[in-house]
Amino acid sequence: MQLTSLDIIFFLAFVAFVVGFAIFMSRKERDSTDYFLAGRGATWPLIGFSLIAANISTEQFVGMSGAGAGNAGLAIASYEWIAAITLVIVALFFLPRFLRAGIFTIPEYLEYRYSPAARVVMSLLLLTMFVFITTVAVVFSGGVTLDIFFGNHTYPLIGEVTLVKGIWAIGLVAVIYTAFGGLRAVLWADLVQGSALILGGAAVTLFTLKAAGGWNAAMAHAEVSKRMHMVLPSDHPELPWTIFLLGIWIPNLYYWGLNQYITQRTLAAKTLRAGQLGVMFAACLKLIIPFVIVIPGILAPLVLGDKLQPGMETANDPVYPMLIRELIGPGWRGFVLAALAGAVISSLASMLNSASTIFTMDVYKRLIMPSASQISLVWLGRITTILFMIIACVLAPSLADPRFGGVFKFIQEFQGLFSPGILAAFVVGFAVPRAPAAAAIVGMVISPLVYGVMKWPVGWYLTSKYVFETAETRAADVFAKLGTAPGGFDRFMGYLYDMAFLNRMGITFVIILIVMAIITKLAPLREPRTMPVSQNFDMQSSRSVSIVGGAVVLVTVGLYVFFW
């Protein structure tokens, strides 16, 4: 179905308004504090909306909705509902430490707590994730969305639209206002796009429910009801119930508490109270996100039928764009598409701004040019923003390879190389005052090694010894098919190979904690390090923060009980 003129008008008008509005609101950036932290003047509604807009992009709409249509079902919503509790933890325990220290970046905190070397190690790990994993995945998922709508059609000036052209178009729009206006431009754009995102997602949910005959009719359908469970068996390949013991908390605590492109919004808070209320506001919004992302995906097999791609039992990335194309009428379709485009542009802008912040402040200013002027820092931030976007656009088309298992799985699994070590460095740093810098550095460095050994060398070993049809074939299935009785070592290797990646992250995290504990025991600090205290910053909290946090936790538990 080709878009109507009304759809295209809505789409182009929305994108133009967001870019123009963001540039106008950030036109007075003067120094690095203005450019990278919006002058430390962000209020709680701006922070809350920006957190959601930065987080929810087409990798969620495309990836999570596709997982909902696959074998994960509603359980994929754990990434959202566990995140709500995680945000409460971040607001109460992480954020006060960071704001009190007056830091620009999260790696900067490690320099104060451990050493300059710890800061550099984390900075390089974050840059690797931003440039080669998250931005690549987000721009690819945005390209998929545009390809579903505009693909196979020829337009004036640009000719036939392809996946690659969609990727570059999204990257170009994101880089324009990010490079020009910095974080303030990103925050104001997020306010508009976050609102449109929730409204557009709600519209898709309502249209999908209508096509399914309403909630009761949909739930009576066997294919739908079997996907409406939050707790899955222990042998589920991706989301077994065992992930709640430790695994799912690792990417959530890292992402919401230590991931620069998310936490940069909270570091820009006007006061501690504003920062905490902004985070709590985001937690409340996270509770409704699955209803506008995952539910449409769960209903997709029912309402789309044979229009879905065959053989996509694990994930079906094109599901959400197809729902918009098939179910949403002219006008509304253009608005929803514009909201999705805004989502991917918002996330990309956030990642680009944070990647440039880390490179400029943690690498260039700290190691290369400590005496760099404010103007040169701002311009370097703009240049690196453009460079990082080019790299992401070049790499993004490779994610079309089905061996990656869908865009959402790609992000979560490959971030697992780094997030356990980063989280361990901060947890030990918070809890063990005498933990030395060597413990944090070793923990972050061995994280990809420990996780990677359980993932890839084990797979190569089993593939060379047994017949594996695809990269996604499970060792247990191969053993059963061959009718063999593998030895104890091979059974153990098969267990590691079949393990859900969240459980693999949990094991990696525990191993790192043990290694850090040994190093701390052998070479503890003689005296705990003295952390800096930011002057003239209001560190007063509010009772309302704890009240809202308690309510979020209770509602989250209630949702798990209801959808058990």
**Residues whose CB falls within 8 Å of the CB of residue 399, separated by 6 or more in sequence, listed in order:** 136, 137, 140, 407, 410
The whole model's pTM is what? 0.80
Residue type, 489: F
Residue 407 has which token pair?
Answer: 């865009």
How far is C-alpha 98 from the geometric centre of its chain's CA atoms? 21
What separation in angstroms does the CA of 457 have from each of 223, 248, 493? 37, 24, 10
Tokens describing residue 196: 């449109």
Pull the structure tokens for residue 4: 């109507």
Phi, psi angles (nearest 5°) of residue 524: -75, 155
**422 token code pair:** 């980063």
Give CA–CA dist 324/333, Å, rounded: 6
Does the CA dihedral 474-480-482-484 come out positive or negative? positive
Residue 83 to residues 19, 158, 254, 284, 553, Cα–Cα distance (Å) = 29, 41, 11, 10, 10
Question: Tens-digit pLDDT profile for the chain (564 aa)?
Answer: 456 777 777 777 877 777 777 667 655 555 444 444 444 567 888 788 778 877 776 667 777 777 777 777 788 888 899 999 999 999 999 999 988 888 878 888 999 999 999 999 998 998 888 888 888 887 887 777 777 666 655 544 444 556 677 777 777 776 775 666 555 666 666 667 667 777 877 888 888 888 888 888 888 887 788 888 888 887 777 778 888 888 889 989 998 999 877 787 787 778 889 889 999 999 998 998 888 888 888 888 788 776 665 544 444 666 777 788 788 777 677 777 777 777 777 777 777 777 887 888 788 888 888 888 878 887 887 788 888 888 888 888 887 776 666 676 777 778 889 999 999 999 999 999 999 999 999 999 999 999 988 877 777 777 777 777 665 677 777 777 777 667 778 888 887 777 888 888 999 999 999 999 999 999 999 999 988 887 777 788 888 899 999 999 999 999 999 988
